[in-house]
């Protein structure tokens, strides 16, 4: 239905393309400035926020998060093994996804959800084995709320999005009226599945209660970090993604504003886990090297098929997949260039390409990279 890409270097945008419709019902053409739910690229933005707390001395990446959460976070199969923010960010915490375990409704709690033994890996202790799990990020969002006393969507806006001058938001909470009017409607298998806003803000920007209610006066700091979808609810344009990529390329600075220190950027983007043949679930060779909510590719090792560009060039960033959308933000730190893209309207399981990635995202990535060669 739509494909958007932006190429950039340290200094700014190099080129862009946009084809298709942002809203099929109104036949509104898509542009690089139209915000979409970019799925798991959200996790990279959450990690930027976590590193800001680390720099402020309010969080230690390797300490047991239980003290900050106010309750004991433990895998019941390994009760003596503390869990750190680094483990949560790198998907080595032993937390596992079941069916929508991360979509915790208003009025429920993270603490209650992780009390279910089904959300834990009972074979691998925290700290070593990688399995990608969305639930790590609602736990991190709860941690942020407990440390700051602020609602996660508002804190992300103030500490991460606004300093980069991004008209972006979690679950449409905090985006401008102009961004709401440009929302990209997500389609899957020919059906509308997300963000058919019609120019109006959604009635409930959070995960509603089990009874469908959305009384956010019930919010309590740290009780339920899942409310604003920290695992995948960021709404941002491809051009906005490119700005975040430029910040990372510039060692944490964007347009003269310091967002992170160069050391924090290195910590964020360096591998915290690498596949050795038996220490993780690679999802058909898709994940083989992972930092703090950042993917490094290609890994160049047996069992890995993580080179969607097919050129062997090392890149770091994050991909996204949800509701018929595939997205990516990738930087090449050696050449100091990067690309951001998304493609919408795909089937639930579109065909794989030459790599573990899907044909449609390989095409969007390749087309975006071509902008750098012009």
Binning the chain into helix, strand and coil, the percentages to the nearest 5 are 25, 20, 50
- The residues near 367 (Cβ < 8 Å, ≥ 6 apart) are 3, 5, 17, 341
What pLDDT band is residue 96 in, cutting at 50, 70 and 90?
A: very high
**Looking at the whole model, is its pTM more than 0.75?**
yes
112 pLDDT band, cuts 50/70/90, is very high
Distance CA 252, CA 272 (A): 19
The pLDDT score that the predictor gives to residue 175 is 97
3-class SS of residue 53: helix
Tens of pLDDT along 52-94?
999 999 999 999 999 999 999 999 999 999 999 999 999 999 9
Give yes or no for residue 339 having a pLDDT over 90: yes
Residue 1 has pLDDT above 90, yes or no: no
Mean pLDDT of the chain: 96
Q: What per-residue confidence (pLDDT) applies to 8? A: 98
Query: Residue 143 above 80 pLDDT?
Result: yes
How confident is the model over 172-196, as pLDDT tens digits? 999 999 999 999 999 999 999 999 9
From residue 61, how far is each of 28, 72, 125, 128, 294 by CA, in Å?
Answer: 44, 17, 18, 15, 15
**What pLDDT is attached to residue 287?**
98
- The answer, yes or no, to whether residue 119 has pLDDT greater than 90, is yes
pLDDT tens profile 230-276: 999 999 999 999 999 999 999 999 999 999 999 999 999 999 999 99
pLDDT at 101 over 80: no
The per-residue pLDDT for 105 is 94
Whether the predicted pLDDT of 34 surpasses 70: yes
pLDDT surpasses 90 at 337: yes
Percent of the chain with pLDDT over 90: 98
pLDDT of 98 reads 78
- Averaged pLDDT for residues 221-229: 97
Quote the CA–CA distance of 225 and 220 in Å, as a whole number: 10
pLDDT for res 99: 66
**pLDDT band at residue 27 under the 50/70/90 scheme:** very high
């Amino acid at each position: 239905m739509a494909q958007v890409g932006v190429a950039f270097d340290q200094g700014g945008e190099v080129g862009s393309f946009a084809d298709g419709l942002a809203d099929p019902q109104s036949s509104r053409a898509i542009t690089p400035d139209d915000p979409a739910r970019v799925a798991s690229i959200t996790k990279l933005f959450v990690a930027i926020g976590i590193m800001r707390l680390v720099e402020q001395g309010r969080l230690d990446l390797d300490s047991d998060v239980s003290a900050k959460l106010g309750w004991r976070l433990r895998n019941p199969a390994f009760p003596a093994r503390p869990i750190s923010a680094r483990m949560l960010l790198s998907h080595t915490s032993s937390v596992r996804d079941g069916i929508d375990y991360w979509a915790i409704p208003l009025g429920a709690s993270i603490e209650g959800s992780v009390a279910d033994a089904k959300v834990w890996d009972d074979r691998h202790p925290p700290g070593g084995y990688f399995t990608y799990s969305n639930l790590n990020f609602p736990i991190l969002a709860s941690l942020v709320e407990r440390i700051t006393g602020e609602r996660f969507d508002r804190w992300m806006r103030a500490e991460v999005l606004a300093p980069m001058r991004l008209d972006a938001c979690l679950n449409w909470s905090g985006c401008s009226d102009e961004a709401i009017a440009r929302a990209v409607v997500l389609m899957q298998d020919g059906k509308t599945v997300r963000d058919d806003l019609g120019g109006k803000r959604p009635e409930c920007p959070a995960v509603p209660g089990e009874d469908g209610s959305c009384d956010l006066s019930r919010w309590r700091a740290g009780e339920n970090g899942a409310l604003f979808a920290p695992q995948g609810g960021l709404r941002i344009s491809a051009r906005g993604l490119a700005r975040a990529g430029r910040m990372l390329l510039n060692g944490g600075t964007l347009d003269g504003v310091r967002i992170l220190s160069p050391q924090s950027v290195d910590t964020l983007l360096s591998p915290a886990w690498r596949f050795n043949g038996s220490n993780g679930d690679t999802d058909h060779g898709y994940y083989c090297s992972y930092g703090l909510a950042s993917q490094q590719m290609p890994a160049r090792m047996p069992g890995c098929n993580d080179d969607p560009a097919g050129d062997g060039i090392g890149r770091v960033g994050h991909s996204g997949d949800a509701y018929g959308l595939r997205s990516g933000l990738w930087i090449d730190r050696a050449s100091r260039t990067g690309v951001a893209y998304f493609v919408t309207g795909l089937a639930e399981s579109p065909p794989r390409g030459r790599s573990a990635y899907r044909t449609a995202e390989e095409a969007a990535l390749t087309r975006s990279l071509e902008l750098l060669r012009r």
